[in-house]
Chains A and B, each alone.
Chain A
């Protein structure tokens, strides 16, 4: 019976981690539904971005208040989780504060002391976050794309943090031997008096309960990630790595189109010739994107990475002037549809069965797509290097090249370019007239 807690602990730990691993596998499978992207270029710049933008949060702090608070929560969370290492060792081997038997008391005390201070800072920041979301009602958290689940998701994670931090402090406060050590109990010494007069046994029970809830809470939190925008704490890193490294104004040239244009422009090409050998087993090209499978793996990764912070939408000129477009919604729709496709695959033994739906139309409307000025404000604003504009562009391409569904005025403009080499119906021979006016 002596080893019962150890065994239970091991089971909980393994269960928590394997469920997480299962979901990570699903995540990777879903992302792989998109087409591959070659990101072997600009390696040093990519790493620089990871260090500055993901690790260093250089884009977060562009908005000083939320940026500063976010840095605290981020640093706090990462550092406090070092403590989890001790908890896991203690849990498996039935030890108590293994760190104390390895490190000198002063070092251990210093470590736990800094964790406690961070825990308090995290608590304060999280409470301010909650107030910003729920009481001050900052505009970017009030968008119509942030109703229902996305809204509760934002709050749930804050509650999680509050509970985990409080548990950590209570655990320390009720650990009498730790309190007696009088090192490292920087914050918990002020909580300890609340438990004065409790019997030794009760204190022990409270300490154990807090300890168990803390580690179970962390495992639940880990598994909650997959279902939440908080996946960004893991995916921000790869997403920043794969983010755009060329000038923002540079849009990709579709290779499939290049091949066809070359064929059309080449006077020697035989239009009736059989396609070249190499092209034979290539999938027939679909121009642009109408569903998630037409997007790239980076775009799908981004959909899972989006933190729904709305920094993109709050800078979007279309959104600011009351139009339907919200780049945040573009990312959220992409993720929702991708999840739907993933579930469809799970339900049909690993194969996608046509469900009569797609990203275009069922999630994102033409009206949203046509409202975009391609100004790149959303891309600039995103703290985790997401490019919502690239998805908008791929869908516009589908609308125009596969469905000829551009607004009428744009069709006129394009016909003019085709016929006169200008968006207006003027004669190319008049191109130099400005000279003599």
Chain B
């Protein structure tokens, strides 16, 4: 049995007449996908450790509609968005943190046009703030001297220009940060975006995640750090495909920090 996490819901907070500092938007992957659930738990562990007053929507959360939008179904996207906005506005939510760059992008950029205006923060940005304000301290030296390479998620990096926050967090672990030849604005997609996660790839000579894993392997990393549940799956599959899972771990930044 893993350790008990404190995860208050908005409904519970409301009943006590309290308003949390942030709303943690878990996202569909973070709620249901077995690998991504570990990332969600790791992030909550960090929030608990730093005594952050947060809440989740729990069963009141629904899919952001992001994948539907990228797949071309604007109807479904807007239906989802309007529903979510109604719930969020009902709770007077102001700040939202999420571990999913797709939710981040969608809520931050596409919800305002439909009546949802929030300050949206990616979990790597939030962790960075926790560390620099001293609310969170890294005690151990788990990663000292370890070679870590960070894979930029398209919707965080190119999509929204967030390149530094994840790197700043990683630097705090005393690890050796190595960059792939394609990084930051020229980073290669993991292959999951644009609803590709949910379908087979079109015929080609290779899968995108394999090519991206090759980029990562060139840096001879011990850990491939990710900041997106989809990237995590893609890179994990890539590492397995290359039969390197014994030597290389694929970990979300939240997982890295929760154990640091």
Chain A contact residues, CB within 8 Å of chain B: 246-251, 253-254, 257-258, 260-262, 264-265, 287-288, 315, 317-318, 320-325, 367, 370-377, 379-381, 393, 396-401, 406-407, 409-410, 412-414, 417-418, 421-424, 426, 428-435, 437
On whether A400 and B154 interact (CB within 8 A), knowing A372-B194, A421-B80, A434-B31, the answer reads: no
Q: Is the CB of B159 within 8 A of A397?
A: no
Q: Is the CB of B78 within 8 A of A432?
A: no
Q: Is the CB of A287 within 8 A of B74?
A: yes
Q: Is the CB of A428 within 8 A of B59?
A: yes
Q: Is the CB of B72 within 8 A of A396?
A: yes
Closest Cβ of chain B: how far from A423's Cβ, in Å? 6
Q: Is the CB of B5 within 8 A of A435?
A: yes
Q: Is the CB of B82 within 8 A of A432?
A: no
Number of cross-chain contacts by CB at 8 Å? 216
Q: Is the CB of A417 within 8 A of B56?
A: no
Among B9, B198, B207, chain A packs the most CB atoms within 10 A around the CB of B198
Count of B interface residues, CB-CB < 8 Å: 71
Contacts of A380 in B (CB 8 A): 158, 185-186
Contacts of A375 in B (CB 8 A): 154, 158, 188-189, 193-194
* B18 contacts partner chain A, Cβ-Cβ < 8 Å: no
- Tell me, in angstroms, the Cα distance from A378 to B9 when the chains sit together: 41
A249, A322, A323, A373: which contacts B189 (Cβ < 8 A)?
A373
Q: In terms of DSSP, what is the predominant structure of the interface of chain B?
A: helix
Contacts of B195 in A (CB 8 A): 410, 413
Binary contact readout B181-193 vs A (1 if CB under 8 angstroms, 0 otherwise): 0000110110111
Contacts of B70 in A (CB 8 A): 251, 374, 393
On whether A321 and B208 interact (CB within 8 A), knowing A431-B59, A432-B9, A432-B31, the answer reads: yes
Contacts of B109 in A (CB 8 A): 246-247, 249-250
- Tell me, in angstroms, the Cα distance from A159 to B188 when the chains sit together: 36
B7, B33, B198: which contacts A413 (Cβ < 8 A)?
B198
Chain B contact residues, CB within 8 Å of chain A: 2, 5, 7, 9, 26, 28, 30-33, 37, 40-41, 44, 56, 58-59, 61-63, 65, 67-76, 78-80, 82, 105, 108-110, 113-114, 154-155, 158-161, 185-186, 188-189, 191-196, 198-208, 210-212
Closest Cβ of chain A: how far from B74's Cβ, in Å? 5
Closest 5 pairs (CB-CB, A-B):
A249-B159, A374-B194, A396-B72, A322-B205, A421-B62
B37, B74, B154, B200: which contacts A401 (Cβ < 8 A)?
B74
Among A377, A410, A430, A434, chain B packs the most CB atoms within 10 A around the CB of A434
Q: Is the CB of B110 within 8 A of A257?
A: no
Closest Cβ of chain B: how far from A300's Cβ, in Å? 21
Q: A318-B204, A423-B67 are in contact. List 14 more A-B contacts (CB 8 A).
A: A248-B160, A324-B202, A370-B199, A370-B202, A374-B70, A375-B188, A376-B159, A400-B72, A406-B72, A422-B62, A423-B28, A423-B63, A428-B62, A434-B26
Closest Cβ of chain B: how far from A338's Cβ, in Å? 22
Contacts of B9 in A (CB 8 A): 432
Q: Is the CB of B207 within 8 A of A424?
A: no
Q: Is the CB of A417 within 8 A of B68?
A: yes
B31, B40, B204: which contacts A321 (Cβ < 8 A)?
B204
- Tell me, in angstroms, the Cα distance from A379 to B186 when the chains sit together: 11
B71, B75, B191, B199: which contacts A396 (Cβ < 8 A)?
B71
Q: Is the CB of A417 within 8 A of B198?
A: no
- Tell me, in angstroms, the Cα distance from A401 to B78 when the chains sit together: 13
Whose C-beta in chain B lies nearest to the C-beta of A397? B72
Q: Is the CB of A410 within 8 A of B63?
A: no
Contacts of A410 in B (CB 8 A): 71, 195, 198-199
Contacts of A417 in B (CB 8 A): 63, 65, 67-68, 76, 80
Q: Is the CB of B158 within 8 A of A424?
A: no
Contacts of B105 in A (CB 8 A): 247, 249-250
Q: Is the CB of B158 within 8 A of A376?
A: yes
A248, A264, A318, A396: which contacts B158 (Cβ < 8 A)?
A248
Whose C-beta in chain B lies nearest to the C-beta of A319? B204
- Tell me, in angstroms, the Cα distance from A328 to B69 when the chains sit together: 23
- Tell me, in angstroms, the Cα distance from A432 to B113 when the chains sit together: 29
Q: Is the CB of A253 within 8 A of B202?
A: no
Q: Is the CB of A321 within 8 A of B189?
A: no
Contacts of A321 in B (CB 8 A): 201, 204-208, 210-211
On whether A249 and B205 interact (CB within 8 A), knowing A413-B198, A434-B30, the answer reads: no
On whether A401 and B205 interact (CB within 8 A), knowing A380-B185, A431-B26, the answer reads: no
